[in-house]
Amino acid sequence: MAMSNALPPRYAVPNTSLPKTTGTLNIIFASLVLLFVDIQIGMTLLAPMLMEFAQSSVREAQTKVEAARKQQLDALKAEEQAAGTEQEKGRIRGQIKAIEARPQPAGPDLKAIMGKMDSPVIRAYSWTDMGTALILNVLMLASGIGLLRLKERARRLAIWAPWRWPSTVPSTAYRRRR
């Protein structure tokens, strides 16, 4: 008996290109956003250490500038004492006054900048935003994998998850812009 490849009457061949394309896009997009959320969580955890390192670098640079300034003033004062003529001493005094009149360079106060992040409201908002983005993008990734396998659950999840996800995008974009 030969098997026939003929389809039964009124049978429609399903078009699988749309769910597979949507599944691929879900996987790509969710993976990229998950990468961004992971980096955002890492930066949130590392920011205090990085700011302390930057602040110590600024203090170290200010100390070096102050030491160089003091050394330059001491050298000019020694040169003034060794000067033979009153005209030469006046020129050196002018240089000393010019150096003393220059304002001291002041670096940024990075602790004040990070102080804004210490607000409990902002911390709660940030962690809630990152947590919901993480959860919803894991669901989007799962729906993408399921859509590639043509699962009905994945289709329902793919319809549900994107409607929840956009609420996290504007808040993240708004916060990054400030």
Structure tokens at 45: 């955890």
The answer, as to whether pTM is greater than 0.75, is no
CB 123 within 8 A of CB 61: no
CB 140 within 8 A of CB 40: no
Q: Among 37-51, 82-96, 110-124, which stretch is predicted with the lowest mean pLDDT? A: 110-124
pLDDT at 31 over 90: yes
Residue at 162 is within a domain: yes
Range of the domain at 60: 20-173
Q: How many domains does the chain have?
A: 1
Percent of the chain surpassing pLDDT 70: 87
CB 165 within 8 A of CB 137: yes
Residue at 119 is within a domain: yes
Contacts of 104 (CB under 8 A, 6+ apart): 66
Residue at 15 is within a domain: no
Does residue 14 sit in helix, strand or coil? Answer: coil
Residue at 91 is within a domain: yes
Tell me how far apart the 2 most distant CA atoms of the chain are, in Å.
125
Residue at 14 is within a domain: no
Residue at 54 is within a domain: yes
Residue at 99 is within a domain: yes
Task: Report residue 173's pLDDT band, with 50, 70 and 90 as the boundaries.
Answer: low
pLDDT at 164: 60
Residue at 158 is within a domain: yes
